Structure 1
Amino acid sequence: MLKLTYTEGSFYLECLTPSIEEWVAQRVILALRVGQPLHFEPSTASFLLPVDLPGVERLKTEVQRHDGEIIALCTCDADYLEVTLQGSWLSDGSEDAVGVFVTMMSYQTEFFLYKLWYESQLCDAVKSAEC
């Protein structure tokens, strides 16, 4: 399962072992215990990856083979590829863009996508340090 946590200024991607059903059940129990509203709906989430990141071509191949109904890849410009995922959005129900998005696809694609995202974060950190 992939979990994307969206905050006011950024997002964080995690690769988790529980199924979506198990994870949502735990979230519902937590929300009930603390009295927090919980809104759950089918949705999409998108983020960018640099097109020159090693492995992007392999990701395209994996998506075509296994997970084309869950993940879509679209070239934005000369520098970035947009990754769009089908899944579920969990939030407190407010109109803020703060919440958690979860999706599930083949383990290989999940892990590879997480690896590429993580490498892109390292590249961004290096570029920021050079400035």
Structure 2
Amino acid sequence: MSVAISATYAALLTLIFIVLSVRVIQRRGETKTSLGAGDDVALERRIRAHGNFAEFAPLGIVLLLLTELMGAPAIAVHAAGLTLLIGRGMHALALSRVTPSMPLRAGGMVLTFAMLGLTALGLLTHAIW
């Protein structure tokens, strides 16, 4: 069975992760901060955008892969993948801004939680029957 859909979203999410990582590294260089955020608010925001992405994206990728492996229709796998991608992107953008956008942040979390919850329920439903 092909897992091309999951692989595509995993690759796209990884590219976002790399961008977030580079932004942290750049700011660390600018502020000469090797550990933590010091007193730099911008660095702290970048660290949290990166960290939050690292906390949620892997679980979403695993659930997406399992959904595809369990034989969900391609359209459902794409819908879940897009929801995760957009949600994580929105949240990362919201936290990375000089002035964080709470609506963008909240929207990103809603999409992320919707993807996680709906795929988990779908997997449970499929596993039970």
- Fold shared, TM-score > 0.5 on shorter chain: no
Instruction: Give the number of the structure with larger relative contact order, counting CA–CA contacts within 8 Å between residues 6 or more apart.
Output: 1
Identify, as 1 or 2, the structure richer in strand.
1
